[in-house]
Amino acid sequence: MPIILLSKSYLLCCLLALALPCNTWQKEQSKLLLVSFDGFRWDYVNRVPTPNFRALIEEGVQVERVENTYITKTFPNHYTMVTGLHAESHGIVANEMFDPVLNRSFSMDGPEVYDSRWWEEAVPLWVTNQKAGRRSGAAMWPGSDVAIDGSYPSRYMLYNASVPFESRVKRLIDWFSGPEPINFGVLYWEEPDESGHNLGPESPLMDVVIADIDDKLGFLREELKRAGLYEQINLIITSDHGMTQLSPDKVIELDNYVRREWYTWIDKSPVVGILPRDGYFEEVYSALVNANPNMVVYKREDIPNQLHYKHNVRIMPVIIEVKEGWTVVQNRSDTHTFMLGNHGYDNRLRSMHPVFVARGPLFRNGYTKASMRSVDLYPLMCSVLGVHPLPNNGSLASVLDLLVPTSSPRPPLPPRPAEPSYAWAVGSLLGAALVVGFLFSFVKQVTQRQLPPLPLANKEMSQPLLQLRL
Ligand SMILES: *[C@@H]1O[C@H](CO)[C@@H](O)[C@H](O)[C@H]1NC(C)=O
Ligand SMILES: *[C@@H]1O[C@H](CO)[C@@H](O)[C@H](O)[C@H]1NC(C)=O
Ligand SMILES: *[C@@H]1O[C@H](CO)[C@@H](O)[C@H](O)[C@H]1NC(C)=O
Ligand SMILES: *[C@@H]1O[C@H](CO)[C@@H](O)[C@H](O)[C@H]1NC(C)=O
Ligand SMILES: [Zn+2]
| Ligand 3 centroid, distance to 251 Cα (angstroms) | 15
Candidate from 157, 165, 470 with most ligand 2 atoms within 8 A of CB, to mutate: 470
Binding site membership of 334 for ligand 3 (Cβ less than 6 Å): yes
| Ligand 3 centroid, distance to 385 Cα (angstroms) | 53
Binding site membership of 162 for ligand 2 (Cβ less than 6 Å): yes
Is the domain of 182 the same as that of 274? no
Is the domain of 292 the same as that of 353? no
Backbone angles phi, psi at 174, to 5 degrees: -60, -40
Contact assessment for residue 137 and residue 180, using Cβ atoms and an 8 Å cutoff: no
Confidence of residue 120 (pLDDT cuts 50, 70, 90): very high
Is the domain of 175 the same as that of 311? no
Is the domain of 283 the same as that of 235? no
Is the domain of 332 the same as that of 370? no
Average pLDDT over residues 83-87: 98
Q: Report helix, strand and coil shares of the chain as percent, to nearest 5.
A: 35, 20, 45
Which residues' Cβ are closer than 6 Å to ligand 4?
85, 89, 308, 391-393
In a domain, 25, yes or no: no
> How far apart are alpha carbons 296 and 60 in whole angstroms?
41
pLDDT at 253: 95
Q: Please check the confidence at residue 378 and state whether its pLDDT lies above 80.
A: yes
How many CB atoms are closer than 10 A to CB 130? 25
> How far apart are alpha carbons 48 and 180 in whole angstroms?
40
Q: Which atom of ligand 4 is nearest to the CA of 305?
A: 13
C-alpha torsion angle, residues 160, 374, 365, 137 (rounded to 10): 30
| Ligand 3 centroid, distance to 330 Cα (angstroms) | 8
How many CB atoms are closer than 10 A to CB 316? 25
C-alpha torsion angle, residues 77, 80, 81, 83 (rounded to 10): 160
Backbone angles phi, psi at 183, to 5 degrees: -120, -5
Nearest CA to ligand 2 atom 5: 163
Is the domain of 255 the same as that of 322? yes
Which of 382, 402, 422 terminates a domain? The answer is 402
Which of 292, 316, 338 terminates a domain? The answer is 338
The ligand whose atoms approach the alpha carbon of 196 most closely is 5
Which of 291, 321, 338 terminates a domain? The answer is 338
Q: Please check the confidence at residue 318 and state whether its pLDDT lies above 90.
A: yes
User: Catalytic residue numbers?
Assistant: 74
Is the domain of 292 the same as that of 188? no
Is the domain of 258 the same as that of 358? no
Residues, beta carbon < 5 Å, ion ligand 5: 193
In a domain, 290, yes or no: yes
Range of the domain at 301: 251-338
In a domain, 143, yes or no: yes
Contact assessment for residue 159 and residue 5, using Cβ atoms and an 8 Å cutoff: no
The ligand whose atoms approach the alpha carbon of 337 most closely is 3
pLDDT at 436: 44
Candidate from 260, 333, 335, 336 with most ligand 3 atoms within 8 A of CB, to mutate: 333
pTM of this structure = 0.83
pLDDT at 77: 98
| Ligand 3 centroid, distance to 265 Cα (angstroms) | 14
Under the phi-then-psi rule, with left for phi > 0, alpha for psi from -120 to 50, and beta for the rest, what region is 360? Answer: left
Is the domain of 265 the same as that of 358? no
pLDDT at 72: 98
In a domain, 179, yes or no: yes
Q: What is the CATH number of the domain that holds 175?
A: 3.40.720.10
Candidate from 88, 373, 393, 395 with most ligand 4 atoms within 8 A of CB, to mutate: 393
Binding site membership of 305 for ligand 3 (Cβ less than 6 Å): no
Chain mean pLDDT for the chain: 85
Binding site membership of 306 for ligand 2 (Cβ less than 6 Å): no
In a domain, 205, yes or no: yes
Binding site membership of 340 for ligand 2 (Cβ less than 6 Å): no
Is the domain of 320 the same as that of 397? no
In a domain, 20, yes or no: no
> How far apart are alpha carbons 67 and 34 in whole angstroms?
18
Confidence of residue 410 (pLDDT cuts 50, 70, 90): low
> How far apart are alpha carbons 265 and 273 in whole angstroms?
6
Question: Domain total for the chain?
Answer: 2
Is the domain of 237 the same as that of 351? yes
Q: Which atom of ligand 3 is nearest to the CA of 334?
A: 5
For the chain, how many residues are written? 470
Lowest mean pLDDT among 103-117, 276-290, 392-406, 411-425: 411-425
Is the domain of 108 the same as that of 206? yes
The ligand whose atoms approach the alpha carbon of 86 most closely is 4
Q: Please check the confidence at residue 273 and state whether its pLDDT lies above 60.
A: yes
Q: Please check the confidence at residue 425 and state whether its pLDDT lies above 50.
A: no
Candidate from 114, 145, 158, 160 with most ligand 2 atoms within 8 A of CB, to mutate: 160
Average pLDDT over residues 217-240: 98
Binding site membership of 253 for ligand 3 (Cβ less than 6 Å): no
Q: Please check the confidence at residue 46 and state whether its pLDDT lies above 80.
A: yes
Q: Which atom of ligand 2 is nearest to the CA of 468?
A: 14
Q: Please check the confidence at residue 441 and state whether its pLDDT lies above 90.
A: no
pLDDT at 281: 97
In a domain, 450, yes or no: no
| Ligand 5 centroid, distance to 410 Cα (angstroms) | 36
pLDDT tens per residue across span 346-367:
999 999 999 999 999 999 999 9
C-alpha torsion angle, residues 407, 408, 413, 419 (rounded to 10): -170
Confidence of residue 332 (pLDDT cuts 50, 70, 90): confident
In a domain, 122, yes or no: yes
Is the omega angle on the peptide bond into residue 192 within 30 degrees of 0, that is, cis? Answer: yes
